[in-house]
Amino acid sequence: MPARQPTEPPRLTLDNVTCERDDRVLFCNLQYNCQAGTLLQVVGFNGAGKTTLLHALTGLIAPAEGQILWQQTPIANSARAFRQALLYLGHQAPVKAHLTVAENALWLARLQGASVERLDWALEQVDMLAYRDITCHSLSAGQRRRVALAQLYMSQAPLWVLDEPFTAIDKEGVAKLEALLERHCAHGGIAVLTSHQALRVAGMQTLNLADFQPQAGASYAYG
């Protein structure tokens, strides 16, 4: 398996995290510990801050208070090691309309240092091998998302952060993805994801952001 897999088991810790947006507290004092093998689904009503939390987890934004630790080190202090261990897929598929399926999957994999040899196999897994040399602008939204999801099959990163990975994916695709997530976690990986769908994955944990809403009185910034 991957050479870069860290020897110590992966561990992601959210230490007292508070996130704000436009001076409004989205959630506060979020405390959570993801051991190796954790599959965590973040749920919450629209606007509860699911995407913001994922952005904070990846280091795209800094939380207003508290910190996020990877292997006990704040991610800001070990940016490179952390980003090598991370695979993030946002709610948009980073797929260029004027590149072919293979080209799109390839540049993303090379950018993240994933193993490029498994490209065809990965495309096969997401049922896109038949479209290998088709430019993406003729693809549907679900197919574009599949191109992005091919990264999951190429990546060696122990930590996956996925924002709505099931959007526009059909039933079979969802089932396959669930199996993949289960396998990833069984191998000691960590996956944090948001989804509006109920997932059927054994041992999945749920984090409801509604539990970390600021108290009505404490949040002067509200309104």
Which residues form the interface with another protein (CB under 8 A)? 22-23, 55, 58-61, 80, 83-84, 86, 88, 90-96, 98-99, 103, 106-108, 110-113, 135, 220-221, 223
CB of 113 to another protein, least distance (A): 5
Instruction: Report yes or no: 137 and 174 within 8 Å, Cβ to Cβ.
Output: no
Residue among 83 and 184 whose Cβ is closer to another protein: 83
- Kind and range of the H or E run holding 25: strand 24-34
CB of 162 to another protein, least distance (A): 12
Residue among 138 and 220 whose Cβ is closer to another protein: 220
Backbone angles phi, psi at 17, to 5 degrees: -80, 130
Two tokens at 105?
């999957």
CB of 40 to another protein, least distance (A): 19
Angle between helices 141-154 and 101-111 (to 10 degrees): 40
Task: Return the number of other C-beta atoms located less than 10 Å from residue 7's C-beta.
Answer: 4
CB of 106 to another protein, least distance (A): 8
Residue among 107 and 121 whose Cβ is closer to another protein: 107
Instruction: Report yes or no: 50 and 194 within 8 Å, Cβ to Cβ.
Output: yes
Half-sphere exposure of 177 toward its Cβ, with a 13 Å CA cutoff? Answer: 27
CB of 124 to another protein, least distance (A): 22
Distance of alpha carbon 122 from alpha carbon 153, whole angstroms: 5
Two tokens at 170?
């059909």
Residue among 1 and 3 whose Cβ is closer to another protein: 3
Distance of alpha carbon 220 from alpha carbon 207, whole angstroms: 25
Residue among 112 and 208 whose Cβ is closer to another protein: 112
Nearest to 10 by CA among 115, 81, 64: 81
CB of 219 to another protein, least distance (A): 10
Residue among 7 and 172 whose Cβ is closer to another protein: 7
